[in-house]
Amino acid sequence: MKAKYSKQHWLHFSENGLCLFETGPGKDALPYLDIKATLSADSPLSAPAAHMRWVRQHAGKRLNILLSNGLYQLLLSDVPDVPEAELRDAIELKAADLINYDLEDALIDVIQLPSDAYRGRMKMAFIVAMMKTPLQQWLVELAQHGIRVDIIDVEMTQLRNLLVFHQTVPETGILQLTANSSRLLLTYQREMVLSRAFDIGLGSLIREQTVQDGELELTLDSAESSDIQLESLALEIRRSFDYYEAQLGLGSLGEVRLLCDARYDYLADELTQRLGVRFSMIRPEDFMTIRLSQMDLDPVNFYGLTGSVYREALS
């Protein structure tokens, strides 16, 4: 795989803020992720005019847009048996049954699963869906201020990019652990075939937690609770593995990469022991430079953006 990188500017939307960042080739032959500016805001996607001054202050004339997982739906659907020319229209009609708003108000994209999935018995696809109006309003506002949008993408495909660029076996997965949740993505031959989110995060998995009590810092041992939560997470992952092997018919997972704060690398060993599949840490700082605009920012909070570095290399 030949890596190719060019400088690109991104505007990332989450449910509670905005982030402007840049990706590109570094002088040391490693790509870089440069966090230019961050802004805390409730539901920024719904208020373009309120945030345009901030965007203009930090952005150039061209942007890519990246949407966090909470701002769109990822739906799994069978693919109708129709001629290729009619396929997209047919899938959009399928989407109409799966979303809770009118199809005319929806933006739809489709990611087809490999033909080997489900042992070739049926064709399936992921449908990426979101409300059209908020994003349209942002595009209009940006255009009125002379900012061109080249690409609109979602976090899920960036997580897939990160995994694919660094995978060592064809049947592999990645588990991203954040403070309050986790996401499992499984691939086959570099294509995403399964994605699941769990309401179990590092906050409930780590065995010792430091809390503030007035002027004192107390370390609480929560080993019993964390073991229960880890077992619950392992059970959900096992169900995903079983679905991958039995229903999708794609064989056994060779490895799963764990994306989280390196301080919790022991979780890779714990999951390996429970599930019988090798879990290993993936540390973005080992293969890219992460630059932060503020000293108080933690690079771990931007791991979900690191796959954007490889979008061009994998296109």
The per-residue pLDDT for 220 is 40
Residue type, 120: G
Q: Which two tokens stand for residue 263?
A: 């301080």
The per-residue pLDDT for 46 is 94
Q: Which CA distances in Å does 136 have to 30, 72, 117? A: 35, 14, 35
Q: Which two tokens stand for residue 117?
A: 């999935």
Output DSSP code: residue 277: S
How many other C-beta atoms are found inside a 10 Å radius of the C-beta of residue 86? 10
The per-residue pLDDT for 223 is 67
Phi, psi values for residue 122, rounded to 5°: -150, 155
**pLDDT tens series, the chain, 315 aa:** 455 678 999 999 999 999 999 999 887 778 999 999 999 999 999 999 999 999 999 999 999 999 999 999 999 998 888 888 888 888 888 899 899 999 999 999 999 888 888 887 888 889 999 999 999 999 999 999 999 999 999 999 999 999 998 888 889 999 999 999 999 999 998 899 999 999 999 988 886 655 444 444 434 446 677 888 999 999 999 999 999 999 899 889 999 999 999 999 999 999 999 999 999 999 999 999 999 998 889 999 999 999 999 988 776
Write out the DSSP string of 185-242. EEEETTEEEEEEEES--HHHH-SEEEEEETTEEEEEE-HHHHHHHHHHHHHHHHHHHH
Taking each helix axis from N to C end, the angle separating 132-144 and 48-58, rounded to the nearest 10 degrees, works out to 50
For tokens 């020319």, the residue is 85
End-to-end CA distance of the chain: 11
